[in-house]
Structure 1
Amino acid sequence: MKRWLLALVLAWTAHAFAQPAEHAKPGEGASCEAEETALEREMDLARSRGQMLRRRQLAETLAALRTRCHGTESQQSRTARIDKLEQEIRTLRSELERAEEQLRELRNERP
């Protein structure tokens, strides 16, 4: 199941980057929303498993999807983008600290 979903996400990513945002067709809204929801679920799952790289890749795929689906409507102000990136950095640092703590605990365990 995971391989199938990963293949789907990778195929969609390649397709999204191959098509400019201005070519998004009307009526794709429902499809875009479903894909957004699926990607957000996958991001939550990756985050819960400590898969930071996978979560980041899914976030990039989600951003590309939103650009393709919403075109210029979804463009955020510079300040909003800065805030979003700062929040993402805080989240990634938190995940990194948790992973480092787990590594320390494993190293300190007696075999």
Structure 2
Amino acid sequence: MPGTTPVTLRLEPHMIPAMRASFEEALSELGQKLLRLQRDGFIPEPWLGDPVSAQVVSYYNTQVMEAAEGPYAALRAYQAEMVKVRDNLQILEEHYRRTEGDNAALWGRV
């Protein structure tokens, strides 16, 4: 994310599967919420049929749901970052399993 300082997370190898599973669960929940928000987050029409509610509908839909740097886009960016972390944890886990040989299967059961 622009303007943020990278953070280093140190994990013992046996912690990686549980950490990755936590990210999988969070991504699943977030994905469901984002699908619902995509479907139901837009205000479909002015609720009073007057010019003021029409302006609110237009402003809300444009600024919240469609803006490149709006709240909905921020949630999508957050989801993308979580996917990157999950994928990197998967790569780390596979790396440890390859380099540690048969013993690596045991650390996942600790």
TM-score of the superposed pair, with normalisation by structure 2: 0.39
Q: Which has the higher contact order (CA 8 A, sep 6+)?
A: 2
Q: Which has the higher helix share?
A: 1
Q: Which has the larger radius of gyration?
A: 2
